[in-house]
Chain A
Amino acid sequence: QSALTQPASVSGSPGQSITISCTGTSSDVGAYNYVSWYQQHPAKAPKLMIYDVSNRPSGVSNRFSGSKSGNTASLTISGLQAEDEADYYCGSYTTSITYVFGTGTKVTVL
């Protein structure tokens, strides 16, 4: 299985909104509404930010939102803050009953 495709880097100024894309195939992202997003700060374990395309776990800021269209999912961070600077990964359940992560995106707050 191939990793889902994400842009290597995205940047924005404080207060702005940014969107990270996650492109897969009809066998993963496009197959089900089972796409998740993870935030990882340096030397820390990843943290689940969005699950099932657009659901936020308890405690996650509503500045984080997710969506999906066809084989591409997106994570939008609104009102960008310095603490949002981190690596972000998408992940998807697949039709082969496996799981696949994205290539990862480094978010920089200018």
Chain B
Amino acid sequence: QVQLQESGPGLVKPSETLSLTCTVSGYSISSGYYWGWIRQPPGKGLEWIGTVYHDGTTYRNPSLKSRVTISVDTSKNQFSLKVTSVTAADTAVYYCARGAGGSGFSPGYWGQGTLVTVSP
């Protein structure tokens, strides 16, 4: 059974860079699938941030594209998210997920999520 676990700082200062890592167990990222990041501001809905294929090809939400970097490290079986120039609007629970379905983009297996707060 594949499992995903997000890790990273829970507090980030405005204008700085948010960095999160998703560690995958029970499945080798290099074997395939798409791997994604989703976030959910407190009390609000889900927002797709972006997706990375096991070969490193990335796809990003147009509204966040200029600030988002997603990368994969198959040697560590991890993939990562960086969001630059953060503001309070980036405060959210951040989830990582493995894709499912015919497109590969539908989040199938989800991590438990990690709350990141942007505050001075």
Query: Which residues of A approach B to under 8 Å, CB–CB?
Result: 1, 3, 32-34, 36, 38, 45-48, 51-52, 55, 57, 89, 91, 93, 96-104
Query: B88 on the interface (CB 8 Å rule)?
Result: no
In the bound complex, residues from chain B placing their C-beta under 8 Å from that of A46 are 46, 95, 107, 110
Taking the closest CB of chain B, its distance from the CB of A51, in whole angstroms, is: 4
| Contacts known (A1-B63, A57-B108, A91-B106); A101 close to B113, Cβ less than 8 A | no
Contact assessment for B112 and A51 in the assembled complex, using a CB-CB cutoff below 8 Å: no
Contact assessment for A99 and B63 in the assembled complex, using a CB-CB cutoff below 8 Å: no
Q: How far is the CA of A99 from the CA of B46 in the complex (A)?
A: 11
Which residue of A52, A91, A96 contacts B107 across the interface (Cβ within 8 Å)?
A91
Q: How far is the CA of A55 from the CA of B102 in the complex (A)?
A: 11
Q: How far is the CA of A52 from the CA of B107 in the complex (A)?
A: 12
In the bound complex, residues from chain B placing their C-beta under 8 Å from that of A91 are 46, 48, 106-107
Which residue of A45, A96, A103 contacts B112 across the interface (Cβ within 8 Å)?
A45
Taking the closest CB of chain A, its distance from the CB of B51, in whole angstroms, is: 7
Q: With contacts A45-B95, A46-B107 known, what are 7 further pairs, Cβ within 8 A?
A: A32-B103, A38-B46, A46-B110, A48-B108, A96-B62, A98-B48, A99-B106
Contact assessment for A99 and B110 in the assembled complex, using a CB-CB cutoff below 8 Å: no
Query: Which residues of B approach A to under 8 Å, CB–CB?
Result: 36, 38, 45-48, 51, 59-63, 95, 100-103, 105-108, 110-113
Contact assessment for A97 and B106 in the assembled complex, using a CB-CB cutoff below 8 Å: no
Contact assessment for B46 and A101 in the assembled complex, using a CB-CB cutoff below 8 Å: yes
Taking the closest CB of chain B, its distance from the CB of A60, in whole angstroms, is: 11
Q: How far is the CA of A93 from the CA of B36 in the complex (A)?
A: 13
Q: Which residue of B lies closest to A105 (CB)?
A: B45
Q: How far is the CA of A96 from the CA of B50 in the complex (A)?
A: 12
Taking the closest CB of chain A, its distance from the CB of B22, in whole angstroms, is: 13
What are the 6 tightest A-B residue pairs by CB atom distance, in nearest-first order?
Answer: A93-B103, A51-B101, A36-B106, A34-B103, A101-B46, A99-B48
Contact assessment for B101 and A103 in the assembled complex, using a CB-CB cutoff below 8 Å: no
In the bound complex, residues from chain A placing their C-beta under 8 Å from that of B113 are 45
Which residue of B36, B102, B108, B111 contacts A99 across the interface (Cβ within 8 Å)?
B36
